C-alpha cells in the first residue's frame, strides 16, 4: 500500500466544502404545508370555511364548528397516512451506513460511505456495497453485480483503468469530475454507487459522490417529476365546482324569496332570516361529504392493503390501481428471484461423486458470487441424494476437511475461467470451472463426446440458461503444479445450466392480469433471448417479438407510440428507455403500473401512474419513487391491490350517488318551503337539522358504503377508462329520481300534518324521521346494482361496521325525539300512529326501486 498515499486531511476538508457529504437528498416538503396549499386551491374547502365563518357571524357556533371539523378531519387523515408511511420507510432504510476501508495519508482507515470525497481511494472486497462512483486503479478477479442500475442479472467483470498511474489520479480527477462523460454508461473500468462486489478485490479512486453519482442522478431526476392529479381527483374537483356554483345560485334565489316573504319584519331581521334560509339551502347543495368520501375510502383501502403487506405511499394511488390497463414488469427481482440456481445438468459420465467434487473444489468457501452459491447448493443436493440425508448439510466442510488449499487460479477476462488446487492425502486435485469454450479446450474428449457436449450446451442456451463447464484432474504429490490454469490438462466432468428462477406465482399472476383486461409488458436489461424465453415461460403474449434498447434509441416519439402497441418484450434497455416506454404508453391513453426493485427502475416508476417497488430487496431510491411498496416482495399482492382499487371505485361511485340522492330532498325541502310561504319558525329543516343529517350521512357514506363487497366478476371485466365520468347518464337519472321520490314522501307527510293543524314540531319530526329511515334503507337498496334488497342485505349483513352505523343512527334518532334533547332540536315525541306512517312512507320512498331491478334482471336474462 506504500505506493498509494491518498488524500491529506486538508484536501479532504477542501473537497468536502466543494462537494459536500456523500448522500442523496430526499423530498422534505412538509405534508402539513402541502395540505394548507391544497385547502386554498380546493373550492369545496373554501366554501366549507366560508359557510363556517357566516355561521359564526350569525351566532350559530355549533354549525360553524361542524364545518371547520370537516376540514381538520380531512387534513388529519392525510397527515396520519404520511407519518405512518414515513415510519415504515425509515424501518426499510439501512440502520447505519456501511463502513469501507479507505487510504488517506498513506494509512488504511475505516470510514462510513457518507464521509467519502472525490479523490479518496476505496479498498473493495467480496460482499462490499460500493458507496460512490469511481475509476478502478487495481483489479484482482473483480466481478460486480450492477443489476440495481442496469437490470442485468449476470455479474460484470472489471478491469483497471489503463493509461493512468496512481501519481496522476488527482490531476485526472480535477479535469474530469465536473464534465459529463459522453462515452457509454457503466464502463468496464469503473465502479458505481449502490452496486455489490461479488468476486475479487480492487482499489477504486472516487470520482463522483452524492447526487453526482449515477445512483444520485436518478434520485435527483425523480424529485423533479411533478405530482399529477389522478382522473378521479380531477372529476371529483369538477363535480365539486359544479355543485358549488349551483349552491351559490340557490343561495341568492332562496335568500331573495325569503326576503320578499318577510316584508312585515324589520330590515335587519329580514336580512338575517334570508341569509339563514339561503345558507340552509347552500349547505344542502355543498357536497361536504366529497372530501370525506375520498379521504376515508382511500385511507381505509390503504389500511386494508397494509394488512396484506402492501404499503400505499400516496392515497390517490389506491383508486388508480383499479384502472391500470398496462402492467410493466422488470424481469430481474420481479418476475425472477434475482438469485441463481442450477436448472439443468449434463455429466460426461455417471461418476456423480467426481462431478460433485469438481463443483465443491472449484468454488470458494464463504463466497458472495451468486453463481458459486448456486453451484454449492446444487452440490449439496447431489450429496443428499447419494447419502439419503433429508437435512441440508455443508459438504464444503465435509469434502475439504482433510484438504489444504495451496493455489488459486483467479478469473480473468481473457480466460473466462478460474480454478483451485487442493492438497489431499498423497495427491493434488486441480478443479476448474468457467466458460465451456475454455474448459473444453483443455480437456481430453473424443469427437463424439465433444459433439454431444456442444449439443447439450446449445439446448441450455436456447432455454436462456447461463452455461458453466466443470473439470478436474488428480496428480500425484510431488508432480509439478502448472503456474497458470491455461497450462492445465483436465478431465471434463460436465456442464450446468444456471438461471434466475421464476417466481412460482408469476404464471398465475399474468393469467389473472389478462383475465382482468390488463396487458403485461416485460422491460429488462438482460439479453433479448433470455428475456424472450422467460416471457414465454410465464405466459406473456407475443414473447417471440423482442425490441432492444439500441433499437429504441433510433425511434422517433411517433414511431415509439406505434411500437408500444405491438411489442411486449423490451431487452437491453437503460433507465431512459424505460421512461420513454412508459411515456409512450401513457400518450396512447393507457394507465401504466411499473414494478421493479432497482435504481434503474425508479425513474420509470416515478412517471408511471402507479410505481410498485419491492420493500425487502428493493433499493432505497426505488422505494422513494414508488406509490406502492410490497413489504414482503410478494408479487401476487398486485392483483389483490387491483381488485381493491376496483372495489373502491365502485363504492366511491355508490357513495357519490348516495350523497346526490340524499341531498336532493334536503335541497328541495329548503327551496320549496319558503316559496310556499311557510314561516321560518315552522320550516321542516333548520340549520341545526342540516348538521344532524350531515352527521348521519358522513358515517353512512364513509363507513357503511366503504365496506360493501365488490360486485361479482369485478376481475373479469376490462379496466375502466381513466377519464370515465363518475356519473353515467343512467346513474345520474337514478339518483335524481330516487332523491325526488324521497323528497315527495318526506315533505308530503310534513306538509300534510301542517295542513291538518298538527304543531310544526310534530310535522317536522315526522318529515325528518322519514329522511333518516330512508337514508338507512337507501344504503341497503343501492349496495348492489342487480341484486334485490334481500340478497343485498345478506351480502352486507355479516359486516359489523355496517350494523354499527345503522344501529347508532336509529339510537340517535330515538334520542333526538324521545329524550329531553327534542326541545332544543325543535322536535316532539311521536305517537304510535305517526310512527307507523313514518315507517310506511320510508319504505315506500326507497323500495319502489325493486320494481326497476326486477325489470332489469328480466331484460338481461
What is the per-residue pLDDT across 638-659, written as a single tens digit (0 to 9) for each? 888 888 888 888 888 888 888 8
Same domain, 415 and 440: yes
Q: What is the pLDDT of residue 248?
A: 72
Asked if residue 11 is part of any domain, the answer here is no
Q: How many Å separate Cα 737 from the centre of its chain?
A: 40
Where residue 138 sits, what CATH number does that domain have? 2.70.150.10
286 and 210 co-located in one domain: no
Which pLDDT score, from 0 to 100, does residue 495 have?
Answer: 94
Higher pLDDT, 394 or 697: 697
Domain boundary among 593, 615, 633: 633
Q: DSSP label at 391?
A: S
Quote the CA–CA distance of 205 and 183 in Å, as a whole number.
19
Q: In the chain, pLDDT over 90 holds for what percent of residues? A: 20
With respect to residue 529, please indicate whether it lies within any of the assigned structural domains: yes
Model-level pTM?
A: 0.66
- Closest by CA to 137, choosing from 189, 209, 178, 197, is 189
Q: Which domain holds residue 282?
A: 228-292+303-309+641-710+721-860
Q: Which of 200, 223, 246 is the last residue of a domain?
A: 223
Q: What is the mean pLDDT of the chain?
A: 78
697 and 843 in a single domain? The answer is yes
Q: What is the pLDDT of residues 109-119, one digit of tens each?
A: 988 888 899 99
Q: How would you classify the pairing of strands 569-571 and 519-523? A: parallel
The answer on 822 and 698 residing in a single domain is yes
**791 and 813 assigned to the same domain:** yes
Residue 239 in any domain: the answer is: yes
Query: pLDDT category, 432, cuts 50, 70, 90?
Result: very high
Whether residue 7 lies inside any domain: the answer is no
Is the pLDDT confidence value at 194 over 90? Answer: no
Would you place residue 170 in the very low, low, confident or very high pLDDT band (cuts 50, 70, 90)?
Answer: very low
Residue 75 grid coordinates? 387534513
327 and 435, same domain (yes or no): no
Residue 80 lies in a domain: no
Tell me: do 652 and 577 sit in the same domain.
Answer: no
Q: In this structure, what C-alpha cell is assigned to residue 704?
A: 357503511
In a domain, 138, yes or no: yes
Say yes or no: 205 and 243 in one domain: no
Give the least confident one: 9-23, 300-314, 344-358, 384-398.
Answer: 384-398
pLDDT above 70 for 302: yes
Do residues 572 and 529 touch, judged by C-beta distance below 8 A? no
The candidate with the shortest Cα–Cα distance to 634, out of 342, 307, 319, is 307
Question: Average pLDDT, stretch 6-11?
Answer: 90
Q: Within this chain, do residues 569 and 652 fall inside the same structural domain, yes or no?
A: no
Query: Could you tell me the CATH number of the domain that includes residue 400?
Result: 3.40.1110.10
Together in a domain, 794 and 739: yes
- Look at residues 469, 499, 529 and tell me which one is the last residue of a structural domain: 499
Domain co-membership, 753 together with 676: yes
Q: How many folded domains does the chain comprise?
A: 4
Query: What average pLDDT does this structure show over 332-352?
Result: 82
In this predicted model, which residue has the larger pLDDT, 170 or 687?
687
Question: CATH number of the domain that 627 lies in?
Answer: 3.40.50.1000
E strand or H helix that includes residue 203: strand 196-208
Residues 219 and 234 in one domain: no
Amino acid at each position: 500500500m506504500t505506493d498509494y498515499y491518498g488524500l491529506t486531511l486538508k484536501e479532504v476538508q477542501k473537497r468536502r466544502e466543494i462537494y459536500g457529504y456523500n448522500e442523496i437528498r430526499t423530498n422534505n416538503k412538509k405534508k402539513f404545508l402541502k395540505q394548507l396549499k391544497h385547502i386554498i386551491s380546493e373550492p369545496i374547502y373554501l366554501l366549507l370555511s366560508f359557510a363556517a365563518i357566516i355561521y359564526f357571524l350569525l351566532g350559530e357556533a355549533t354549525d360553524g364548528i361542524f364545518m371547520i371539523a370537516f376540514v381538520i378531519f380531512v387534513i388529519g387523515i392525510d397527515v396520519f397516512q404520511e407519518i405512518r408511511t414515513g415510519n415504515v420507510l425509515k424501518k426499510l432504510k439501512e440502520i447505519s451506513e456501511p463502513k469501507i476501508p479507505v487510504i488517506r495519508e498513506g494509512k488504511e482507515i475505516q470510514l462510513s460511505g457518507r464521509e467519502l470525497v472525490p479523490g479518496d481511494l476505496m479498498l473493495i472486497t467480496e460482499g462490499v456495497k460500493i458507496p460512490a462512483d469511481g475509476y478502478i486503479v487495481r483489479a484482482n478477479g473483480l466481478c460486480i453485480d450492477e443489476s440495481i442500475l442496469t437490470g442485468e442479472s449476470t455479474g460484470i467483470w472489471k478491469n483497471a483503468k489503463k493509461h493512468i498511474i496512481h501519481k496522476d489520479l488527482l490531476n485526472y480527477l480535477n479535469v474530469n469530475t465536473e464534465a459529463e462523460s459522453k462515452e457509454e454508461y457503466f464502463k468496464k473500468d469503473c465502479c458505481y454507487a449502490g452496486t455489490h462486489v461479488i468476486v475479487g478485490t480492487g482499489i477504486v479512486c472516487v470520482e463522483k459522490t452524492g447526487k453526482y453519482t449515477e445512483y444520485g442522478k436518478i434520485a435527483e431526476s425523480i424529485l423533479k417529476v411533478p405530482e399529477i392529479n389522478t382522473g378521479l381527483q380531477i372529476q371529483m374537483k369538477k363535480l365539486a365546482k359544479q355543485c358549488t356554483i349551483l349552491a351559490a345560485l340557490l343561495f341568492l334565489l332562496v335568500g331573495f324569496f325569503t326576503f320578499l316573504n318577510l316584508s312585515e319584519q324589520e330590515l335587519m331581521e329580514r336580512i338575517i332570516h334570508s341569509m339563514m334560509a339561503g345558507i340552509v339551502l347552500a349547505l344542502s347543495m355543498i357536497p361536504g361529504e366529497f372530501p370525506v368520501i375520498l379521504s376515508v375510502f382511500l385511507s381505509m383501502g390503504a389500511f386494508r392493503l397494509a394488512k396484506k403487506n402492501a404499503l400505499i405511499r400516496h392515497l390517490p394511488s389506491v383508486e388508480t390501481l383499479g384502472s391500470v390497463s398496462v402492467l410493466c414488469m422488470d424481469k430481474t427481482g420481479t418476475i425472477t428471484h434475482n438469485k441463481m440456481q442450477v436448472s439443468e445438468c449434463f455429466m460426461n459420465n455417471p461418476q456423480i461423486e467426481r462431478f460433485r467434487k469438481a463443483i465443491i473444489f472449484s468454488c470458494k468457501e464463504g463466497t458472495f458470487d451468486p453463481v458459486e452459491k448456486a453451484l454449492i447448493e446444487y452440490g449439496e443436493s447431489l450429496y443428499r441424494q447419494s447419502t439419503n440425508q433429508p437435512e441440508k448439510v455443508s459438504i464444503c466442510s465435509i469434502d475439504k476437511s482433510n484438504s489444504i488449499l495451496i493455489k488459486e487460479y483467479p478469473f480473468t477476462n481473457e480466460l473466462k475461467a478460474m480454478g483451485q488446487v487442493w492438497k489431499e492425502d498423497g495427491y493434488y486435485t486441480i478443479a476448474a470451472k468457467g466458460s465451456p469454450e475454455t474448459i473444453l479446450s483443455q480437456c481430453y474428449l473424443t469427437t463424439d463426446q465433444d459433439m454431444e457436449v456442444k449439443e447439450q450446451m446449445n439446448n441450455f442456451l436456447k432455454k436462456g440458461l447461463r452455461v458453466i463447464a466443470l473439470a478436474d484432474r488428480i496428480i500425484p504429490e510431488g508432480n509439478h503444479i502448472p503456474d497458470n490454469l491455461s497450462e492445465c490438462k483436465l478431465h471434463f466432468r460436465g456442464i450446468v445450466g444456471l438461471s434466475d428462477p421464476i417466481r412460482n406465482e408469476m404464471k398465475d399472476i399474468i393469467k389473472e392480469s389478462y383475465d382482468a383486461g390488463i396487458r403485461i409488458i416485460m422491460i429488462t436489461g438482460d439479453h433479448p433471448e433470455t428475456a424472450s424465453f422467460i416471457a414465454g415461460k410465464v405466459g406473456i403474449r407475443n414473447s417471440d417479438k423482442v425490441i432492444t434498447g439500441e433499437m429504441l434509441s433510433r425511434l422517433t416519439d411517433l414511431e415509439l407510440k406505434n411500437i408500444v402497441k405491438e411489442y411486449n418484450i423490451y431487452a437491453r434497455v437503460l433507465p431512459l428507455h424505460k421512461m420513454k416506454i412508459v411515456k409512450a404508453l401513457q400518450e396512447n391513453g393507457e394507465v401504466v403500473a411499473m414494478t421493479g426493485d432497482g435504481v434503474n427502475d425508479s425513474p420509470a416508476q416515478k412517471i408511471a401512474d402507479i410505481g410498485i417497488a419491492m420493500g425487502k430487496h428493493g433499493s432505497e431510491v426505488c422505494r422513494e419513487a414508488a406509490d406502492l411498496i410490497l413489504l414482503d416482495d410478494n408479487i401476487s399482492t398486485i392483483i389483490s391491490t387491483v381488485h381493491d382499487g376496483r372495489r373502491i371505485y365502485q363504492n366511491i361511485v355508490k357513495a357519490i350517488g348516495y350523497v346526490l340522492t340524499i341531498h336532493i330532498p334536503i335541497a328541495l325541502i329548503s327551496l320549496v318551503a319558503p316559496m310556499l310561504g311557510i314561516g321560518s319558525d315552522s320550516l321542516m329543516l333548520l340549520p341545526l337539522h342540516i348538521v344532524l343529517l350531515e352527521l348521519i350521512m358522513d358515517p353512512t357514506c364513509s363507513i357503511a358504503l366503504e365496506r360493501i363487497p365488490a360486485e361479482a366478476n369485478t376481475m373479469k371485466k376490462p379496466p375502466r377508462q381513466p377519464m370515465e365520468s363518475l356519473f353515467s347518464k343512467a346513474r345520474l337519472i337514478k339518483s335524481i329520481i330516487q332523491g325526488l321520490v324521497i323528497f315527495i314522501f318526506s315533505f308530503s307527510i310534513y306538509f300534510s300534518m301542517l295542513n291538518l293543524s298538527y304543531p310544526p314540531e310534530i310535522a317536522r319530526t315526522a318529515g325528518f324521521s322519514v329522511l333518516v329511515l330512508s337514508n338507512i334503507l337507501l344504503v341497503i337498496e343501492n349496495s348492489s346494482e342487480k341484486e334485490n334488497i334481500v340478497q343485498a342485505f345478506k351480502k352486507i349483513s355479516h359486516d359489523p361496521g355496517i350494523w354499527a352505523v345503522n344501529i347508532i343512527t336509529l339510537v340517535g334518532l330515538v334520542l333526538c325525539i324521545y329524550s329531553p334533547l327534542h326541545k332544543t332540536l325543535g322536535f316532539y315525541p311521536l305517537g304510535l300512529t305517526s310512527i307507523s306512517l313514518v315507517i310506511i312512507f320510508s319504505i315506500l320512498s326507497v323500495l319502489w326501486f325493486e320494481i326497476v331491478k326486477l325489470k332489469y334482471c328480466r331484460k338481461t336474462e
